[in-house]
Structure 1
Amino acid sequence: METVKETPIAPSVKVQSAKKRKLSADHLTAIGFLLPSFLLILIFVYGFIGWTGYVSVSSWNSLVPDFSFAGLENYLFLFQDFRFQADLRNTLFFTILFIGLVIVMGILLAILLDQKIKGESIFRNIFFFPMALSFVVTGVVWQWILNPSTGVNLFLKNFGIQPKWYTDTNILAGFKWGSIEFGLPAALFAVVLAAVWQMTGFSLAMYLAGLRGISEEVREAARMDGASEFTIYRKIILPLLRPITVSVIIIMAHISLKIFDLIYAMTGPGANFVTDVPGVYMFETTFRGNMYANGAAIAIIMLLTVAIFIVPYLISSRKGET
């Protein structure tokens, strides 16, 4: 009988096979850890978004569920509605003022703290403190501070000044647009003030980290070329902080477009809806008016407005990483 000779397996082949088995086991372990989170997100985020979109094109505007197809009827109703048009106007001006002031205040305070002033840690904690509060607490506190009959008005009364703050129904530079007067509602200044007070600490932290990350050699080189401090910040520092500015804009836009708790706790819809926003309208329409299809339509519109800011940013970030 002929003996069959076994072909010896090279050590390198054995090592590669062991690595493949280990890699496969690592993959299965990773999938096992990620699968529960993936399923929960799929159900409770995207599943509920899909359900909200389905309800928004139904006729369910009463306590009795009615899933008959209504098309874009609920959306058309909203864009012709006086209150929703006022909400879009308020959201536009609130977003512009909120983002602009948060960026300006964050940059100025960050530059101030970057000068290595005495008691920097104390000032830093003071500026960061409002971020530890919820928007509900902020709304209640500022509602009392800016109450037309109490708060700061008790002091201003001595000078003959009595602002109406968030109860003011005047529209600045207003003109007729649709069913509403389009312009800047004076009452929004009070709400913007409260929101900026709370979120400036976040902007400050971002810009301060960016300033501390810029090498001192860059500034020294500019000074040697005869550049003034103002020119250094305008021509060198601020352009280097542009990625941080973009991040702050995206995050603040996300907050302002879906704002609810601050407005609801501080002013509510306001007289003539001068401080109303889609989030408050959605809550009252859905859970007080039992008009579920209209409330779902408002939620989808809010989602789309936020996506206008978030999706391009995510795409550009993804391209940058690639």
Structure 2
Amino acid sequence: MAVAMKGFHPLKISVVKMNKPFISLCPEVTRAHALTLMDWLEDERVTCYLSDSRHVSRSIEQAIDRTQLPILTHLFNQGGRFFMAYDRHDAPVGFVRLIKTGSNCEIVLVIGDSDKWGRNLGARTIREGMKLAFLDMRAKKLIAKIHPDNTRSVKAFLRSGFVLESETPTLKSFSMAAGRYLQLLREGTVGDSTRIYITEIDKARLESLIALEQGPTVVELEHELERAIVVKPQQVAGNVVTMNSRALVQLDDEEIEVALVYPEDADSNAGRHSVYSDIGAAILGYQEGDAIDWRISDRTRRIEIRKVLYQPEAAGHFHL
């Protein structure tokens, strides 16, 4: 529900937070996307280091010719999983392909919009690809094969924590093991620079809940649980959004009051949002003053935590 706050002064959000590179990966591929991909693959600057650019271009052209359907997702996911990469303005800037063979997975990544080069979108796209490979596809190792002259990609993968596994005059092979990924995630090296906090009790409850669940939101929730700083319930700061908290949140230009609850208590019409929902998974662990970009209902929204109105731990209600 909308909440009017008389005399409430918005918290200032730093410019650094507002300008952080943001990428979301979406599996749905439309006919318009396919045409955009064709344009990218006609740019020699984009394809010069893409070893299978002719094959990719031919596959896309065949997919367009084979069907008049507006959605081509199933065709692009044959032999692997394909994702369009969007920036915070929901504009397509590239794509990611994940090909799993046994327990290993290979990542092919392209930032096709050359106007967006140099903005660290490649590194952010790599991080989103790792999230899917390790937490959704459950790969044991993620591999990237890069031409030695593609210095921009080499640097991006090294900054993301990949290690050089082998090299020839024409190919460098980098890898990331699942254990190393989780370690870097917990250290805050490959995740969002804004750290989040979760109580020991909340983490244990949520881990038991998501153990048997699947889906994009569950992947995001598991990612947040893995990277969170875990604290005792008695030690969590009173301005952190914990489970069963109520918070005043700004969603783009709209102020709403959100209660973060477990799935069985959810009622979005009453403002009680499940931790499995997009907005629920988004705000868990953040504190007053934090601002994040998050994909909600197929578009990117800016979320600001204005004020924590009620937190069980701060009220001494440790049973909630």
TM-score if structure 2 supplies the norm length?
0.20
Query: Which structure has more RCO (C-alpha within 8 Å, separation ≥ 6)?
Result: 1
TM-score by length of 1: 0.20
